[in-house]
């Protein structure tokens, strides 16, 4: 027998026919013939180093010093960087010079990859090895889906959602118990689990396959599983990015992330999880085709996201959706594109805790949770934002093990533990959806305060979980203060599943308590937050001390010491649209704002900021309340535009925004803006959290291009300063009138140093209180 034939037979025995067919770059690229040297893998001597950067400039530099970024993020904070031996000394020297914390996460990337390949080789040599003992190529995953359907007794069906860019099928499995009395399969709610949008995250398909495997294989023996499969149709798509996943089974491509789109400029791949159409193109998504977070040319530009969009849209009863990724051990709820809390954040907080608690209960692994934007990083165009924001379905990303010790190359002995702990999270989510008939939440959040004498509308979302909402049953219950009976009023349907009611405008200084109720068609009353608790909103008066829509010039100043920008200086103008600059100001009426040169020019970079800084300083304004006012808070609000995510040095600059209480003698930073929202962003700050309010306040915006090649445009509009509190009454003795007896009562309290005599609210009783009292007494 020839040597080549012997090698061919050995190859068939090692990897099996299914594992050797259809892999990008040649069949059986991961296979190794017994007795031969391993296929060479690059990355010899590469390490993964975690460096915690503190500024955008440090981020720009550190990413140029690395060979590959393992994070799915681009911002200040911990960055996991793959570094070759040639670049490592320069990176470590620079980090030490900058005094930045850094540590070695993976001392030898090649050794980790070699160990993974060897584990797969040995597992493929063994007979009757458990399917979850190792990782599998896409062909073996699809074969196992067919086997599960055949073993299900007719409860499971394999489907093809559509084709990938390279023509591979995107396959999944859907299963539900046979029809039950009063519970036909066709009417059951649906839950969906998917993964491998990012090709290198091999643990993700394993967790999805475990969900399908356990729910089908243990249906007859596990009461919890049976209850879920009796109640739901469960849909699992293990691998969305089938082309990219197949490509990672070629040794040199193991750490590939994107799909396999030829971008036409020598680069390949679009990040599918930046390509979903809801709020596509904002923060955390790159415009550079060679970047790992490249968003594509448009929302849903890729066949894979188009296929999955259409498939998810075809699920009319979908209630919950999880997209599995790695790594970081996180349960992430919407939104990723904005730091603003989503309308159902209170519900997500509760469910996040329920799922992370379930994960911890299995193996003691801690998964943190929260909205994607703040819990991990800004990311626009991600699937949970679309599933929740466009389809109205509860949706999550779960980042699986680990926290960086092995990263994307999670050892195979952690497949089953990772799958088990996340299966518990899946069961808990399904049980919540099954057991809760109505889900209520406040889309605008709880109002921080109410204005005295002014009723305020409040909106409530009421979603059907497992019960039909009884029409006309949604009610708002309110009372003034914390005692007495609640008054109940019907809430009107505003649109969709959003209802609207009115909170009363009570007297200043007290509070309004409120809660909500709704009834199901089965006669059960559901309360939010509960029948025994209530939400609370204090009553204040509102005093506006500064309000500038920029339609007239109130005295803003352009320029400061150190400003050397050559173009893009601040001006008050009606901006002309560019790729980096708005077409309109932020105001609902009016057209003017402060903008860094409002002209459009022949390109977005013609009139942007170049060569340094340009400073915009507000006129002097007061943040003090009227005399004799008990203040609860003083707030500064403004709208800002900022763009810094294009050009050769994208995301390398920032705009410091500061406040002064002493006419500009000293400044305190409010925020260092780096947010590329492609929109006007409204920001609010409680002034007391930064400086003591005074009569000599100023605000300063420093837009700058530090010579890195980024295109920087900035804008400011609608600056507002509000004081909330209660004006003190001259009726000191509270007998219903203002007369001499109030003066006598005040001085008795003042001489005794009683807190009620502190009319100027400075924390002490002194001569200033006398003047403030008489101002209030004269006011009545």
CA separation for the pair 18, 28 (Å, rounded): 9
CA separation for the pair 16, 31 (Å, rounded): 9
Phi, psi of 63 (to 5 degrees): -75, -25
CA separation for the pair 562, 388 (Å, rounded): 47
Q: Which parts of 549-687 are beta strand (E)?
A: 557-558, 570-573, 593-596, 613-617, 629-643, 655-660, 668-673, 681-686
Angle subtended at Cα 515 by Cα 512 and Cα 516, rounded to the nearest 5 degrees: 140
36 in catalytic set: no
CA separation for the pair 295, 549 (Å, rounded): 35
Buried b (16+ CB within 10 A) or exposed e, 108-118: bbebbbbebbe
Rg (CA), the chain: 31
CA separation for the pair 594, 714 (Å, rounded): 8
Angle subtended at Cα 580 by Cα 579 and Cα 583, rounded to the nearest 5 degrees: 75
Indicate which residue of 233, 399, 421, 513 is catalytic: 399
Cβ contacts of residue 274 below 8 Å, gap of 6+? 280, 284, 285, 286, 293, 294, 295, 296, 379, 380, 381, 382
CA separation for the pair 282, 320 (Å, rounded): 25
- Cα 752 to Cα 62, 350, 735, 746: the distances in Å are 64, 50, 21, 10
SS3 of residue 621 by DSSP: strand
CA separation for the pair 252, 261 (Å, rounded): 18
Total residues belonging to the chain: 780
Q: For the packed helices 415-435 and 203-217, what is the interaxial angle rounded to 10 degrees? A: 60
Give 268's strand partners.
262
CB 424 within 8 A of CB 359: yes
Burial class (CB in 10 A: 0-12, 13-18, 19+), 154: exposed
DSSP state of 607: S
Residue by residue, DSSP assigns 305-361 as HHHHHHHHHT-TTEEEEEEEEESS-EEEES-SS-SSPPTTHHHHHHHHHHHHHHHHH
- Cα 340 to Cα 344, 371, 449, 684, 690: the distances in Å are 12, 9, 19, 12, 21
SS3 of residue 153 by DSSP: coil
CA separation for the pair 531, 670 (Å, rounded): 40
Q: Which residues are catalytic?
A: 399
């Amino acid at each position: 027998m020839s040597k080549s034939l012997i090698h061919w037979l050995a190859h068939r025995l090692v990897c099996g026919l299914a594992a050797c067919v259809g892999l990008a770059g040649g069949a059986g690229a991961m296979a190794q013939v017994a007795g031969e040297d391993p296929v060479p893998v690059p990355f010899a001597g590469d390490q993964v180093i975690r460096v915690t950067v503190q500024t955008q400039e440090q981020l720009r530099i550190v990413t140029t010093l690395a060979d590959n970024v393992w994070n799915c993020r681009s911002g200040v904070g911990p960055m996991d960087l793959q570094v070759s031996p040639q670049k490592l000394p320069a990176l470590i020297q620079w980090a030490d010079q900058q005094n930045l914390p850094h540590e070695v996460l993976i001392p030898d990337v090649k050794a980790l990859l070699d160990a993974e390949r060897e584990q797969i080789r040995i597992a493929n040599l063994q007979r009757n090895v458990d399917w979850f003992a190792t990782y599998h190529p896409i062909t073996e995953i699809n074969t196992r889906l067919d086997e599960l359907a055949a073993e299900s007794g007719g409860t499971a069906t394999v489907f093809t959602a559509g084709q990938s860019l390279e023509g591979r099928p995107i396959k999944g499995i859907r299963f539900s118990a046979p029809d039950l009395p009063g519970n036909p399969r066709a009417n059951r709610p649906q839950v969906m689990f998917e993964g491998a949008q990012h090709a290198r995250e091999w643990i993700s398909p394993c967790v999805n396959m475990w969900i399908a495997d356990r729910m089908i294989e243990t249906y007859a023996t596990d009461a919890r599983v049976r209850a879920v499969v009796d109640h739901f149709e469960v849909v699992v798509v293990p691998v969305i990015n089938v082309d990219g996943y197949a490509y990672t089974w070629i040794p040199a491509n193991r750490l590939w992330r994107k799909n396999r789109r030829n971008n036409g400029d020598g680069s390949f791949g679009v990040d599918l999880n930046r390509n979903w159409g809801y709020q596509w193109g904002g923060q955390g998504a790159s415009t550079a085709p060679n970047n790992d977070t490249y968003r594509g040319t448009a929302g849903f530009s890729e066949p894979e996201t188009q296929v999955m969009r259409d498939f998810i849209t075809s699920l009319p009863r979908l209630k919950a959706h999880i997209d599995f990724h790695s790594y970081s051990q996180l349960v992430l709820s919407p939104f990723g594109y904005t730091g603003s809390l989503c309308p159902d954040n209170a519900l997500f907080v509760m469910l996040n805790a329920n799922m992370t608690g379930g994960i911890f209960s299995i193996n003691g692994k801690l998964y943190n949770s929260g909205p994607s934007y703040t819990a991990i990083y800004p990311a626009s165009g991600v699937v949970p934002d679309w599933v929740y924001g466009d389809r109205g379905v509860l949706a999550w990303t779960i980042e699986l093990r680990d926290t960086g010790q092995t990263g994307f190359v999670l050892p195979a002995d952690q497949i089953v533990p990772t799958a088990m702990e996340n299966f518990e999270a899946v069961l808990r989510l399904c049980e919540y959806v099954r057991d809760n008939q109505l889900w209520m939440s406040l889309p605008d959040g709880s109002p921080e305060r109410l204005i005295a004498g002014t009723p305020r509308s409040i909106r409530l979302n009421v979603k059907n979980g497992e019960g039909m909402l009884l029409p006309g049953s949604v009610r708002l219950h309110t009372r003034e203060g914390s005692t007495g009976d609640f008054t109940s009023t019907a809430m009107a349907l505003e649109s969709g599943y959003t209802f609207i009611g009115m909170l009363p405008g009570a007297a200043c200084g007290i509070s309004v308590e409120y809660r909500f109720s709704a009834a199901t068609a089965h006669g059960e009353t559901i309360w939010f937050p509960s029948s025994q608790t209530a939400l609370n909103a204090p009553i204040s008066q509102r005093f506006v001390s500064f309000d500038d829509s920029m339609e007239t010039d109130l005295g803003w100043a352009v320029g400061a010491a150190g400003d050397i920008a050559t173009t893009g200086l601040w001006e008050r103008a009606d901006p002309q649209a560019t790729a980096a600059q708005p077409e309109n100001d932020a105001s609902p009426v009016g057209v003017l704002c402060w903008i860094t040169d409002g002209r459009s020019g022949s390109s977005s970079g013609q009139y942007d900021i170049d060569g340094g800084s340009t400073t915009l300083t507000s006129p002097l304004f007061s943040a003090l309340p009227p005399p004799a006012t008990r203040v609860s808070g003083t707030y500064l609000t403004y709208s800002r535009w900022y763009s810094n995510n294009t050009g050769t040095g994208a995301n390398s600059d920032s705009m410091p925004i500061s406040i002064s209480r002493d006419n500009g003698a000293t400044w305190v930073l409010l925020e260092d803006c780096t947010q590329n929202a492609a929109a006007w962003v409204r920001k609010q700050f409680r002034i007391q959290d930064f400086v003591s309010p005074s009569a000599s306040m100023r605000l300063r915006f420093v837009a700058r291009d530090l010579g890195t090649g980024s295109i920087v445009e900035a804008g400011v509009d609608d600056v507002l300063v509000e004081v909330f509190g209660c004006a003190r009454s001259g009726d000191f003795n509270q007998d219903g009138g203002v007369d001499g007896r109030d003066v006598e009562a005040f001085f008795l309290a003042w001489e005794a140093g009683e807190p009620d005599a502190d009319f100027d609210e400075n924390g002490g009783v002194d001569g200033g209180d006398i003047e403030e009292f008489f101002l209030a007494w004269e006011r009545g």
